[in-house]
Amino acid sequence: MNKLPDISDSLLSMAIRYSELTETQKKEYPECYDYFWAKCSMMTTLGSEIYASQDFYKYPLTEWLTGDFNSSLNQVVNELRGSKGFPIEISSKETIQNLLLSMHFQVESTIIEGDFIEIKAHHLIEEDVIILYFRQTPFL
């Protein structure tokens, strides 16, 4: 059985990518984004099913595993999306809740302006708060 990788390995990878950003880009990333990114990175490394089998809440649920869900994971891990200036592109608003719950965050509030969505969420255990930005597009 595959074990979840140590979060410190993912955080190191995040630190390397983060160091390559401009100062303006760095200011745009929300607090605890590194934790969120590391969890997304572990899921993409292991695959969703293995990740869920070892997750405390057993997330993500199989029915959440859509192309939109996988695309949002890849955008976070490979493109560092989620800031106001570089939102995660989704085609379904359901994906937001599924992605956040998979990383153990619960949506607190939602602000929608056109196709732009600001989400404030808190961690289910630690109570850390994160604000992420999404843009809804008809097709990905």
The number of folded domains in the chain is 1
For residue 2, being part of any structural domain is answered with no
For residue 115, being part of any structural domain is answered with yes
| Residue 1: exposure state from Cβ atoms within 10 A (0-12, 13-18, ≥19) | exposed
Model's pTM, two decimal places?
A: 0.82
For residue 104, being part of any structural domain is answered with yes
For residue 91, being part of any structural domain is answered with yes
For residue 107, being part of any structural domain is answered with yes
DSSP codes, the chain: -PPPPPHHHHHHHHHHHHHTS-HHHHHHSPTTHHHHHHHHHHHHHH-HHHHHHHSTT-PSPGGG--HHHHHHHHHHHHH---BTTBPEEES-HHHHHHHHHHTTEEEEEEEEETTEEEEEEEETTT--EEEEEEEE-S--
pLDDT in tens, the chain (140 residues): 555 555 556 556 666 766 776 777 667 776 688 889 888 988 988 888 888 988 889 999 999 999 999 999 999 988 889 988 899 999 999 999 999 999 999 999 999 999 999 999 999 998 899 999 999 997 65
For residue 68, being part of any structural domain is answered with yes
For residue 101, being part of any structural domain is answered with yes
For residue 1, being part of any structural domain is answered with no
What is the domain range of residue 127? Answer: 7-136
